Structure formats: structure tokens, C-alpha cells
Structure 1
Amino acid sequence: MPELVIKDLTVRNTAAQREVLAGVSLSVQQGEFVALVGGSGSGKTMTAKSILRILPEQLQIASGSIRLGSVDVTSAPEAELNRIRGGRLGMLFQQPKRMFNPNRTIGKHLKEPLNLHGGLRGRAADAKVYELLADVGFEDPAWGARAYPHQLSGGMAQRAMTAMALAGQPEFLLADEPTSALDKVLEQQILELLDRQRIQRGLGILYITHNLASVAAFADRVLVMEAGVIVEAGTTEAVLGTPRTECTRRLLEASNLAPTRTTEAPTSERNVLTLTNVVKHFGSGKRWGRGSGNRPALDSISLAVKQGEILGVLGQSGSGKSTLARAIVGLEGISSGSIDRTLAAGATSPHTAVQLVFQEPHDSFDPRMTLRASLEAPLRARKGLSPADRSRRLNEAMLEVELDPDLLDRRPSQCSGGQLQRATIARALLMEPEVLICDEATSALDALTQRTVLDLLQRLHRERGMTLVVITHDMDVVRHMCQRVAVLFQGRLVELTDTPGFFADPQHQHSKDLVSAAIPCRGLHLKKMRALP
């Protein structure tokens, strides 16, 4: 059977004259589920890009070999690589919207590998597109096929990318953080889908992740990477059960947030946000209908958030969480209802008083501008601030989020995801907000960096008395941080209760699904027993 084998792979950054991968060796057999785990910047994604020969221009394979069966990938001509990519090797990346052409529908994206690698056209290709989209959890596959990438939520885009990766009937799948943007229910569905493909078709999977719970549930073997080197390897039970290296122990520790709340309930009775019967339509009809046609993205949402509260917002991808966040800060108009922001005495503007931290930090900055230019832009609109005042404020904001002010003169591409996410928080703090809305602010980060950002948010809440609305699909984050939980389902608020009550006795069926989907991820002894369904 074909095998994917990397032997002594070294990749150099020719511009910086340093190695980003050093002597990496690994193998994946067909039908095997192998996990590659490590912190941000450890070299996981560079390993996958090396296999596909899609490294950035400044990175070059200096030595070693990559073989796919009898094919030497490191020396294969471009024509051979084009047959391999999307065919024998499926590709599933972490940031799907960057991989889609914004001018093409999802259906057209899926038809390309179906035509190229499967010879499907016309109605046969249409039928397969709908089948693939249904398999990855699209409520309305016909709408999904007509949709453009910008119409999809982060989770829906990841589902579409999964469908495209499977469309070419690959022998091996390179899955780079494929579930980081998904809720727990959908995460489990996608991983079970990949596992079924592994069993039924002999699909070999190299699963790159920082989610050790999913590793424990699905992986046969685990490889731990740090600073471009594989520092530990073995069976899942051995590596996660009795880790030998400090790197593995840190990852395990960071992946297990305390299950008890560490924040006190708010003492103020003042509502800083009040939503009354908020409705948001994105339109209807063939192009703009979402899911069930005319169902609104937000459907009669009524909710009050108290000063100093940390409110967790849960729900499956596409449930309306991000639309709700954008509506609160004014980035989306609402179709009906009202959103009232009750400000403290002396507050400046209802718009600057509520700030939003986006899910993907790389998309929050202009890649052509330094961080200094991006962060300084809103301060320039304020009268009475001299250049020296602005510089001082920027330095203070960077230090508050535990970043070196020297990073201000870097461009986004020169920063890690964790550094950019903290810089995004710094930019929000410059506006001195009363309310900070965090839309999946840690989902794209590794476990160690996620812990750092969560600790930062809790410190800001504690020291500033700031109100936080934490939109997430990570149940441990909600359990760890939030006093109350709001659950959205198909655009509606279906449950609003205190955090202990939510986990002890969820009322709505979707809430029960979310809680039950998170339970198998707690503890290595609950490793999934996999068998052909």
C-alpha cells in the first residue's frame, strides 16, 4: 500500500539564514490517523506545506526527502505535483476563506477537483457537490453550492473546505487545524466523517492540531513538534498518558483549563447592553437566502448584559453568533428591534465604548501597514493628542497586553498569531471601551497561546471592571470564565442561564448536544473505540 514518508527533512529560511525545520522524519500509512501537535510557530504548518511543495519563496528544502508511494515529491516536476495536489493528496487548511476565490461559488470550487480528478461533469458533478456538502453538515446543500465565500461563517467555510479536500478522492489528507473554527458538535461530526473515510476508503490522515482532546479521541500515533524538531513520538496512549518531554507536558497542561469558574458575579445592576427583539435579514431568494430560505440570521433576540459581567455566547457555526457581535458594535445594520448602549458618566461615544476582537487576527490588520500605523489610526481622529501623546498611548497599550512596544514597527506577517491577537486587543483598549466583545478570539491559537490570551482577558476584566461578551465554541472557556451562558440556534436565543446551571442541566436540545459533545473530550481514558458503522 502507498505510504507518505518524510525522512530527515530540513527547510531553511534563506532570507533569515536559519532553519525552520531540522531533520524531520515521519510516516503515514493508508488507513492511519497520525497527529502532529505543537505550539504556535513550532513548524507544523511548514511541514504540511513542504509535503505539498507550496512553501513561501524565502523557504527552501535544503535536504531530506518526501515520498508519496513511489513518487519523490521533492524532485517531482510541476505537472506531476498538480496531479498529486487535490488528487492523491487532499489539502485542508486552517484559514479556508483565504483559500477560496471570492468571485466563485462554493459549487464551482468543488466541481474543479471533481472534474480534474474524477472526470465528473454536468448533473453527476452537481449531485456529488450536494452529497459532499450534506456530508460535512450543510443544512441546505443547494444553497451552499450557490453561496460565495463571503456569505459563509468561519465554520461553514471550514465545512466547505473539508468537502473540497475530499472531492478528489485522496489517498492521504493533510488536515491543518481543520476544526478550530467549529463548535463542539460539528467538530465531532467532521472528525467522525474523516474517521469514516479512513476506515471505508483507507484514507491516511496527517492531522495538525493543538486540540489534544481530539487527538486523544481519534489518533493512532502522536508526534510532538517544537522549534522545527519532532521531540516526541509514539502511540496516542503513550505520548499523552506518560509524556516524556517538557513540551508535551506544557501542551497537556494548557489544554486542561480549570473546570470551575474563577470570576466573581457582577455587583452592578446597570445594563450596559440591552437588545430588544433584534432581527437581522440578509435577504431572501436564490442568491441571498441562507439555510432555510427566508429564515433570518437573527430572529427576535432580546438580551441584557450587566456592567462587569462575562457572558458566554455559544452555538453551532452559522447560528448567528458573529452576526450578533457585528450588530452590537454597528458593523451590521439590523432589520428591526433595538440595541441600546447605556454608558457610564463621562463616556465619550456609544460606538467606541463597545469594541470587537475578531476571530482571525491576520485579517484584522492591513498587511501593508506596520502595527504602529494600524493602532495609531483611531487615535489620529481624536483632537488634542500630539504625536508624543499618541506614541505614549501606543506603548502603554502594548505593555498592558504583555507585548514589547518594539513590535509596533513590524508588519503583521512578521508576528505570530498570538502576538497579533494581543495587538488586536491593544487596539480595542485604546478606545477605552466599557464592553469588549471577543468573537472566537482564541480559536485559531494553540493551547499555550490561548491560555495566555484568556489570562489577559481575565486580568483586564478584573483590573478595569470591563464587561466581556465571549463568543466561543470552546466549552472549557465558558466554564472557566463566564458567569452566564447564552445559546443561539438558527438565529434564535434558545437558552440564557447561569454557567453552573447550564452545565448541570441544559434545557434546550441544542444545549444538551453541545454539553454532551464536550464530555468525551475530557480525559484521555475516554479514547474513542473506532469501528466501521
Structure 2
Amino acid sequence: MTALLEIRDLTVSYHTKTGVVPAVRGANITVAAGEIVAVVGESGSGKSTTAHAAIGLLPRGGRVEAGSITFAGRELTGLSDRQWQQVRGTDIALVPQDPTVSLDPVRRVGDQVAEVLLVHRLATRRAAAAEAVELLRRAGITEAERRAKQYPHELSGGLRQRVLIAIALAGRPRLIIADEPTSALDVTVQREILDHLEGLAAESGTAVLLITHDLGVAADRAARIVVMSRGEVVETGPARELLATPEHAYTRELLAAAPSLAREPLRPRRDAGPEVLLTVSGIAKSFDGRTRVVDDVSFSLTRGRTLALVGESGSGKTTTARMVVGLETPTAGTVTFDGNDITRLGREELRRLRRRFQLVYQNPYASLNPRFTIEDVVTEPLRAFDVGTKAERHTRAAELLDQVALPSTMLARKPAELSGGQRQRAAIARALALNPDLLVCDEPVSALDVSVQAQILRLLVRLQEELGLAYLFITHDLAVVREIADHIAVMRGGRVVEHGPADAVLGSPTEEYTRELLAAIPGQVSASPPPVTA
């Protein structure tokens, strides 16, 4: 098989003020025309650095120290900026991870697609607008003409990602590098985006280098998988063979950690306990006085149990969670916590009750004050409620870090000095500071690598067993739900469409929407990986 992209013995380092940091060491990767190759690894494994080196977009300080990158027989290392401009877009195109950052917020999306055509002189100014609409249509966007006139903020995350695909397609490239193109998307939207990339590879012979931390996605989509760890390629091979008989210990760890490939819960399911802690009765929420984003939602949660509130973006699950903890006031209905109707409490009464329920957010970096030390972060609730002396709070902070398996030496660090998983542990420690009865976890693992995700889920299970906590677990990912939930409520369009014990909902769902969510989970036993088309 003739390689379209060939990376040989690639070594990349970052030159910083504090010294040289090696990022990739001796990596070897090949991609043939029409082939989908997935590069899998955790944050810091070197997978994105390798991809960015292949398109000449290394961040400042990044240098190719050794090795070779060839595309269709042409050596790419050492190209000038002008030469790279001739390669990017027409030979190799990039679909980046975050469309919010990658799209210009003050320009219409059609103009941003047309710009690629104009830069590469593939269309006249008059023809570019019409061709941009057609590219948006090819990227799977319905009503493409109307969407072309909109700004990025007017589109959903899935549509914005399709705009990035349209931009990548504009130059008719022979290779698309897709860098975590679906990691922030709901599972059904993720499936649609990946279906589209796979279809393009089959239809036009476009090769795809898919960068992902999700082995489930790689298993579903790639003909071959390359596994990277700490800057090195540790294993590579056909997808089915590598997943069936992984040779490297790190690959086996990734397989064991991936919730999309797991089938057993982290602990046995439990029936609803005798003591009801939270009762939500017919709550609704309207923000404009007419459209209800939450409509007649009811459920209950008992002590020491986990209820997963599942749905896609816009389903109303996060708004429901905010009403549960008193951050939003329901338009109708009641929320009762341990016998207290929090919808009718005054501000001071609600504040006192809030000691007993806490939030854990999706993005720990955004939810932790970057100017605080970890000790300040963890003890913030204690200071807010005037609990303990300064010395007692310090002791409590060390105890809390020990509970979440962080060393006390972390107390003096700032959030930026911690990894994503460590920051989420610190956020959980903060949530535990006041000994709450209920944690509302809003997508607490969706931004984490699969192995770190598995660690946090195991931590939550252990803390629940030790402290008797109840969890309201907000997520779009039924693969995660499978591991941790006792009961599931599925939301769509602001309403609960299915509710019951986890095994019943996962094993024999009654609603077509729930079946669609289950079918969209990547990494399930399915058809063979996509064939190579030369």
C-alpha cells in the first residue's frame, strides 16, 4: 500500500523559557489514500503535536528536531511559510477540536468558507458565495443557504463543527487531519459528524488522520489504530486485531478504562432506598414567558443513590439541575429537599440549606479561581459559612485532599499547575467541605481523558459508599451512566420521556429516543472498520 502521508522517526520538542520539553520521540505513522487512521492517547501523549507537525502548525516554540514527514513523496519538514500555504487547504486540511475558538465570531459562516476558495484561487469572488453554500450542504448542513448567512453563535455545536468540515473540504484536500473533532459533542451529533467524515473518505478517496482520546471512536471508525503514550508510538495495527489482542500494557489500560467499551457497572445496582432526600414535582421553567425549556419534570432521589439525568444539549437537564439547587426559580412545580420546599424559602433560609447540596461542574479549570491556591479553593465554602478557625480549615483541607486521593503538597499549588483530573478532584474536595448530603454533578467527566474519567468515576463511587452521598448525575453519555447510575431519567425537549431502574432503561428501553442514544455509543460490537479505498 503506497503511503500518502508518511511520518518517520519524528522528534518534536518545545523550547520554553525554562528549557527544552520533549513532546514526540521517534514517531512512525503512515496513512494511505482513502484510509482512516486513528491516533489514540491521553492528553500529553504527543498525538496532537504529531498532527500539527504534519500540517506545519506547531505552536510557538515547537520544533521538529529530527525525522521526516512526506506527503505524496514530497518532504514537508523545512518548508517555508509561503510553501506551507500552498500545502495547507489544498493537500492537507485541518478540522480543529473547538469551533468556538476556530471560527471568527464576527463573520458569517458562509464568508469564512468562501475565504478558503478565494485564498487558493479556486473560485471568483462572485462564484465563491454559491460554492460555499454547496460546501456547507456537502458537510451535512440542511438549509445551507440560510445557515451561510448566520454567525457562529447562532449555530449549535454540531453545526459549527460541520462548518469546520466545510472549510476543510473547500480546498479539495487529499488528507483531512481531524483533531478531536467530536469530543465536546453529544453522542448522537458525534455519530453524525463521524458518519460524514467516513462517507467522505469512501466517496472521494480523501484520507483521514483522526486524533482522539476515545478508543471507542477509534474502534468504530478506523481501519488502523496508532496508540501513543508520553510522546512515543507504543503500538500500531489493524483496528480489530489491536483491540482484540492488544500487546502493550498502555493499550490494555486504555481499553479497560474506556466507558464506551465497558459493559459492567462499577458496583452493583441498588433499588431506591427507604429515605427520600429529594423530590421534584412537576417543575417547569420559561425564560421568555412562552417557551418552556423545562416542562412538567418529576422524579425523586433517595439517600446514597445515583440518579442520572440524561439528554442531549438543549434537553433541559442542566436547567433542571440548577432549579434543584436553587440557582433558578421554577415557573411552576416544587423542589423538596429533605422535607423543605426550596422554591418557597427565603434567601437566608435557602443559603443555610445550601450547605447540604453542592455542585460539581463540567470544566474544573473554569470553576476554580485561578488566583487561589488549592487550599483557598477547597476551604472557600468553609470561609463563606464561617466554619472553623484558619488552622482548623487548613487541617480540613488536608483531610479533603486525602479523601480525593491528592497529596497535601498540592495545597500550595494553583489550579493551572494541576492536570485536568487533579483539578476535578480538587473541585470534588471543595464540594465535600461542608459534609453535604447531595452532590449535583453536571457533566463532571466529559472533558477528561478516558483513563482519568475512569479514575474520577471510581472516586465518586468510593465517596458515595463511604459518606452515604446521593448524586444527581447530569450527562449526555449513556456509556458513563452504565457504569455509575442506579436509576435513569431521560430528557428530551424539556420533558422526561423515560424513567426507571438503570438496568431496565439500558437493557430494554421503551422510547425510540433512548434507543437512539444507546445506538450512538461508540465502541460497541458492530460492523468491520471501514475498508481502505485506494
* TM-score normalised according to structure 2 size: 0.84
Measure the CA separation in 2 of the matches of 1:319 and 1:337. 18
Structure 1 stretch displaced more, 299-308 or 22-31: 299-308
Q: Determine if the alignment matches structure 1 residue 259 to structure 2 residue 237.
A: no
Measure the CA separation in 2 of the matches of 1:465 and 1:176. 40
Asked whether the 8 Å contact 2:375–2:411 carries over to 1, the reply is yes
Q: 1:132 aligns with which of 132, 136, 144?
A: 136
Structure 1 stretch displaced more, 251-260 or 108-117: 108-117
Which amino acid in the other structure matches residue 277 of structure 1? I
Q: 1:342 aligns with which of 298, 313, 337?
A: 337
Q: State the Cα distance separating 1:203 from its structure 2 match.
A: 1.7
SS of structure 1 residue aligned to 2:220: helix
Measure the CA separation in 2 of the matches of 1:335 and 1:156. 30
SS of structure 1 residue aligned to 2:12: strand
* C-alpha distance 529-161 of structure 1, shift in aligned 2 (>3 A): closer
Q: Determine if the alignment matches structure 1 residue 6 to structure 2 residue 7.
A: yes
Q: Which has the larger radius of gyration?
A: 2
* C-alpha distance 389-147 of structure 1, shift in aligned 2 (>3 A): farther
Q: 1:439 aligns with which of 424, 442, 450?
A: 442
SS of structure 2 residue aligned to 1:247: helix
Alignment of 1:404-443 (within 5 A): 404-443=407-446
State the number of aligned residues.
518
Asked whether the 8 Å contact 2:373–2:414 carries over to 1, the reply is yes
Measure the CA separation in 2 of the matches of 1:370 and 1:89. 43
Which amino acid in the other structure matches residue 295 of structure 2? D
Q: What's 2:282 paired with? A: 276
Q: State the Cα distance separating 1:521 from its structure 2 match.
A: 3.1
Asked whether the 8 Å contact 2:315–2:493 carries over to 1, the reply is yes
Q: 1:227 aligns with which of 202, 214, 230?
A: 230
Q: 1:311 aligns with which of 307, 313, 329?
A: 307
Which amino acid in the other structure matches residue 7 of structure 1? R
Measure the CA separation in 2 of the matches of 1:439 and 1:70. 48
Measure the CA separation in 2 of the matches of 1:438 and 1:39. 23
Structure 1 stretch displaced more, 387-396 or 215-224: 387-396
Which amino acid in the other structure matches residue 276 of structure 1? G
Q: What's 1:197 paired with? A: 200
Measure the CA separation in 1 of the matches of 2:337 and 2:148. 39
Q: Determine if the alignment matches structure 1 residue 522 to structure 2 residue 517.
A: no
* C-alpha distance 263-124 of structure 1, shift in aligned 2 (>3 A): same
Q: What's 2:297 paired with? A: 301
Alignment of 1:346-357 (within 5 A): 349-357=352-360
Q: State the Cα distance separating 1:326 from its structure 2 match.
A: 4.0
Q: Determine if the alignment matches structure 1 residue 44 to structure 2 residue 39.
A: no
Q: State the Cα distance separating 1:336 from its structure 2 match.
A: 1.7
Asked whether the 8 Å contact 2:114–2:128 carries over to 1, the reply is no
Structure 1 stretch displaced more, 453-462 or 423-432: 423-432
Q: Deviations over 1:105-151 (max 9, x none)?
A: 655554544554554767963784586378456799846963544x6
Where structure 2 has 5 or more consecutive residues not aligned to the other structure, the ranges are 341-348
Measure the CA separation in 1 of the matches of 2:268 and 2:464. 12
Q: What's 1:320 paired with? A: 316
Structure 1 stretch displaced more, 96-105 or 271-280: 96-105
Where structure 1 has 5 or more consecutive residues not aligned to the other structure, the ranges are 285-293
Which amino acid in the other structure matches residue 93 of structure 1? P
Which amino acid in the other structure matches residue 403 of structure 1? L
Measure the CA separation in 2 of the matches of 1:123 and 1:488. 44
Asked whether the 8 Å contact 2:227–2:251 carries over to 1, the reply is yes
Q: Deviations over 1:228-265 (max 9, x none)?
A: 11011111122112211111111122224343562423
Measure the CA separation in 1 of the matches of 2:72 and 2:30. 11
Structure 1 stretch displaced more, 162-171 or 23-32: 162-171
Q: What's 1:287 paired with? A: none
* TM-score normalised according to structure 1 size: 0.84
Q: State the Cα distance separating 1:482 from its structure 2 match.
A: 1.1
Measure the CA separation in 2 of the matches of 1:460 and 1:33. 41
Q: Deviations over 1:307-328 (max 9, x none)?
A: 3321122223333333433444
Q: What's 1:188 paired with? A: 191
SS of structure 1 residue aligned to 2:426: helix
Q: What's 1:496 paired with? A: 499
Which amino acid in the other structure matches residue 499 of structure 1? A
Q: What's 1:471 paired with? A: 474
Q: Deviations over 1:391-444 (max 9, x none)?
A: 323222222211223334444443322222222222222343332222322223
Q: What's 2:362 paired with? A: 359
SS of structure 1 residue aligned to 2:386: coil
Q: State the Cα distance separating 1:162 from its structure 2 match.
A: 4.3
* C-alpha distance 416-94 of structure 1, shift in aligned 2 (>3 A): farther
* C-alpha distance 73-455 of structure 1, shift in aligned 2 (>3 A): same
Q: State the Cα distance separating 1:341 from its structure 2 match.
A: 4.6
Measure the CA separation in 1 of the matches of 2:413 and 2:109. 35
Which amino acid in the other structure matches residue 6 of structure 1? I
SS of structure 2 residue aligned to 1:349: helix
* C-alpha distance 458-419 of structure 1, shift in aligned 2 (>3 A): same
Identity of aligned residues (%): 34
Measure the CA separation in 2 of the matches of 1:400 and 1:252. 27
Q: 1:23 aligns with which of 7, 15, 26?
A: 26
Measure the CA separation in 2 of the matches of 1:138 and 1:457. 41
